[in-house]
Amino acid sequence: MRAATPKNGRRVGDKVFLGLLTVTGLSVVAIALLMAWTLGRDAAEPISRFGFFGFLTGTRWDPVSGQFGAWPFVLGTLITSVAALALSFLPALGLAILSAEYAPRWLATIIDYIVDLLAAIPSVVLGIWGILVLAPFLRDRVYQPVFEWVLERAPDQAAWLGNPTGYGLITATLVLALMIVPYTTALARDAIRLVPVEQREAAWGLGATRWEVLRLAVLPYARGGITAGAVLSFGRALGETMAVAMLIGNSARLPLTLFGPAATMPSVIVNEFREAVESLHLAALMGIGFYLFLISLVVNLLAAWLQRRLAPGNVGL
Amino acid sequence: MFKQHVIKLALAAAVATAAFASAQAEADITGAGASFPAPLIATWADVYRDVTEGAVVVNYQSIGSGGGIRQFIDQTVHFGATEAFLNQEQLDQARAGTGGEAYNLPITLADVVITYNVPGLETGVVFDGEVLAGIFLGDLVRWNDERLAALNPGVQLPDMLINVVHRADGSGTTNIFTSYLSSVSSDWAERVGAGTAVEWPTGVGASGNEGVAGLIGNTPGTIGYNSLVYATLNDIAYGYVVNAAGNVIQPSLASTSAAGDVELPQDTRTLIVNSQHPEGYPISGFTWALLYENADANKAFTSRAQAEETVRFLAWVMTEGQEFSEVLDFARLPQAAVDLNLARLAQVKWQGENIGQAIVDGFTTR
């Protein structure tokens, strides 16, 4: 680009601007690298003591005896995030298609507005709503009746259901799904709207119905953006802290029951960081942060790769 | 807020009579640590600024016991506050850093009450150590269990699942509670142990005293543990506990203070759970302030006057400051702890020279 700039156009202002861009841009990169380095350095103790994979896959988290393993939290994070994405993806896509393709302009505006509003609700507010409304509702209407039904018919099966307090994996997953709907929707909507008019007109011209236009011309063209949006929402679900910590029940044991409590990587950090007295405990929390950083990095790279792979130019792959 | 106001008014009269004999040096004092005593320390700081006519300003950062200990050992604060006393490793670190002792000085006591939400059950269900350990281990799973019924003759216990609620965040409250369970149940001591965060065998975790109180408040069948003040503020039913002497004790500020009124080791690094005092509430524990013997070695101090004012503030906290504890729903220090504290403060040195004795004398002879 710079080579193409005419010589007389290269003024001091350009150079200053370029310098400013370089410094601000690179400082973000430097901060990200520094964060990873700091996390890795502060997490050195548990990682060297239990091994990189030993710490990752250790199933006990016992600050009293100094046994630390991240697996219950890794599992809790992956289960809630994957389930939240699975739950929210189709409704979100449907909402995006409705807004971008079917709804009249006035309705689309209202839908967009409400979806954006949903994205703007602070997660701690959703957490409070979960505690005051959703958790008691699910407990009284779903968990408790199911639990009692099972207890009556097959008492030996009650163990894997877990005590129905209302706080646990399912409740947290539902709120998490609600939280990421707006992200998936917004990105999918934009991807669909960016599909060129010619693409649609060509499909219409071939005699396609409205559904066929959508299926054959629009969605394949937009799938890169849709998928990348879903993966980014997944990344957000991974890191979501407050609402999950308020609703998941916070148990450091492996999440082996359906209604029972669990914990995620961000939730254990936010819960235990303040009063971690032993240095190994603190370092283990840093280690969880380090792994979360790595997982988020992988998710983001995956999103970039998917977007490139599924870009319109590669439609035929 | 209202209480602070009342205290200030009450103090206006006191200030006139008990004015400090010597002229106060100007000083900013910084402390950091446990969140549990933060309201009490904030009030002390407020009142003390008035007592010293604005000369001494105390800032307290409520960052948690772990942070308080770390900042104290890193020498970035003048005093620390913690709900877990310094362990041997930390004492050694402190000795290496300053060439002297690090004092653990009790400033107040925390009480942990058993809170529950069971339809039909009021405050006053009686528990003992064995039953509590059974419940929190997940061995005792129904409210009408005969072991609980045996302690509560005449009480209609419902046939309902027990849902355990515990703290999700590391906490001094958890430390006291699990220390108590460890001291009354070898089973608990073996399988779980004691600490600010433990590997809970069962139950749901909620963050903070308010989180546990809230969760219990809106979930029937739950049992958990809280500071007494949260149980009374949130109007949650709480239980009485059988103590080491076999008496059923109602948790109160008085019974908590009584628990600490036992023979204490010289360094006060002791858990008073399961206190032998016949009137003592068994699930209580001290909260400590941390101070270096060799004040000049603490890099946070910039002058001798600042160190002297810190000692004077803490000596005031141990004596006259205790008057404000019960108004704020904190238990008063028992005399045994006050005496040990003052003996410790009297040994504080600046560059080898004793500065503590004169200050402490000013409080004991008044």
- For residue A259, the chain B residue with the least C-alpha distance is B204
Give the integer Cα–Cα distance in Å for A185 and A87: 13
Per-state percent for chain A, helix, strand, coil, to nearest 5: 75, 0, 20
Tens digits of residue pLDDT in A177-212: 999 999 999 999 999 999 999 988 999 999 999 999
- For residue A133, the chain B residue with the least C-alpha distance is B218
- B308 pLDDT band, cuts 50/70/90, is very high
Q: Does A51 touch chain B (CB under 8 A)?
A: no
For residue A172, give the 3-state DSSP assignment: helix
Across chain A, mean pLDDT equals 89
Give the integer Cα–Cα distance in Å for B67 and A187: 41
Between B24 and B86, the more confident residue is B86
The tokens describing A102, both together, are 């079917």
Mean pLDDT confidence for A287-298: 93
List of residues 6+ apart from A276 with CB closer than 8 A: A63, A282, A285, B66, B170, B196, B197
- Put simply, the answer to whether A168 touches B192 (Cβ < 8 Å) is no
Question: Which residues of chain B does A246 touch, with a Cβ-Cβ cutoff of 8 Å?
Answer: 207, 211
Q: Does A124 touch chain B (CB under 8 A)?
A: no
Q: What is the pLDDT of residue B21?
A: 46
Mean pLDDT confidence for B338-342: 94
Q: Does A197 touch chain B (CB under 8 A)?
A: no
Q: CA distances (Å), A294 to each of A57, A187, A277, A290, A297, in order? A: 15, 24, 26, 6, 5
Percent of chain A with pLDDT over 70: 95
Total Cβ atoms within 10 A of residue A145: 12
Long-range contacts of B47-50 (CB under 8 A, 24+ apart): B47/B7, B47/B8, B47/B11, B47/B321, B47/B324, B48/B313, B48/B316, B48/B321, B50/B8, B50/B11, B50/B12, B50/B15
Mean pLDDT confidence for A143-167: 86
Q: Are A61 and A68 in contact (CB under 8 A)?
A: yes
For residue A278, give the 3-state DSSP assignment: coil
- Kindly tell me if the per-residue pLDDT of A29 is higher than 80: yes
- Put simply, the answer to whether A62 touches B198 (Cβ < 8 Å) is yes
Residue in A60, A165, A277 closest to B66 by CB: A277
Residue in A165, A274, A277 closest to B63 by CB: A274
Residue in A136, A267, A281 closest to B218 by CB: A136
- Put simply, the answer to whether A64 touches B65 (Cβ < 8 Å) is no
Q: Does A61 touch chain B (CB under 8 A)?
A: yes
- Kindly tell me if the per-residue pLDDT of B110 is higher than 80: yes
Closest approach of A303 to chain B, Cα-based (Å):
33
Q: Are A244 and A262 in contact (CB under 8 A)?
A: no
- Kindly tell me if the per-residue pLDDT of A316 is higher than 70: no
- Kindly tell me if the per-residue pLDDT of B2 is higher than 90: no
ipTM computed for the complex: 0.80
Per-state percent for chain B, helix, strand, coil, to nearest 5: 40, 20, 35
Mean pLDDT confidence for A244-263: 91
Tens digits of residue pLDDT in B161-185: 899 999 998 888 899 999 999 999 9
Minimal CA–CA distance to B183: which of B67, B310, B283? B283
Question: Which residues of chain A does B208 touch, with a Cβ-Cβ cutoff of 8 Å?
Answer: none
Tens digits of residue pLDDT in B63-86: 888 888 989 999 999 999 998 889
Q: What is the pLDDT of residue A3?
A: 52
Given CA atoms A132, A135, A141, A145 in this order, what sign does their dihedral have? Answer: negative
Question: Which residues of chain B does A135 touch, with a Cβ-Cβ cutoff of 8 Å?
Answer: 218
Mean pLDDT confidence for A79-93: 95
- Put simply, the answer to whether B196 touches A253 (Cβ < 8 Å) is no
Question: Structure pTM?
Answer: 0.84
Closest approach of A168 to chain B, Cα-based (Å):
8
Tens digits of residue pLDDT in B226-277: 988 888 888 899 999 999 999 999 999 999 999 999 888 988 898 889 999 9
List of residues 6+ apart from B341 with CB closer than 8 A: B105, B106, B268, B314, B318, B333
The tokens describing B11, both together, are 């103090």
- Put simply, the answer to whether A263 touches B205 (Cβ < 8 Å) is yes
Question: Which residues of chain A does B71 touch, with a Cβ-Cβ cutoff of 8 Å?
Answer: none
Give the integer Cα–Cα distance in Å for A312 and A191: 11
Give the integer Cα–Cα distance in Å for A245 and A250: 7
DSSP per-residue string spanning B94-127? HHHHHSS-EEEEEEEEEEEEEEEE-TT--TT-EE
Give the integer Cα–Cα distance in Å for A61 and A67: 6
Amino acid at A127: G
Closest approach of B28 to chain A, Cα-based (Å):
25
For residue B291, give the 3-state DSSP assignment: strand
- Each residue of B116-127: b (16+ CB within 10 Å) or e? bbbeebebebbb
**Where do we find the tokens 């709207």?**
A193
Q: Does A2 touch chain B (CB under 8 A)?
A: no
State the count of interchain CB pairs (< 8 A) between A and B: 105
Helix or strand run (H / E) with residue A155:
none
φ and ψ at A164, to 5 degrees?
-85, 80
Q: Does A250 touch chain B (CB under 8 A)?
A: yes
Question: Which residues of chain B does A277 touch, with a Cβ-Cβ cutoff of 8 Å?
Answer: 65-66, 69, 84, 170, 196
Q: Does A163 touch chain B (CB under 8 A)?
A: yes
Minimal CA–CA distance to B29: which of B16, B10, B44? B44
Residue in B66, B165, B215 closest to A276 by CB: B66
Q: Does A296 touch chain B (CB under 8 A)?
A: no
Q: CA distances (Å), A234 to each of A17, A78, A85, A227, A302, in order? A: 36, 10, 6, 10, 11
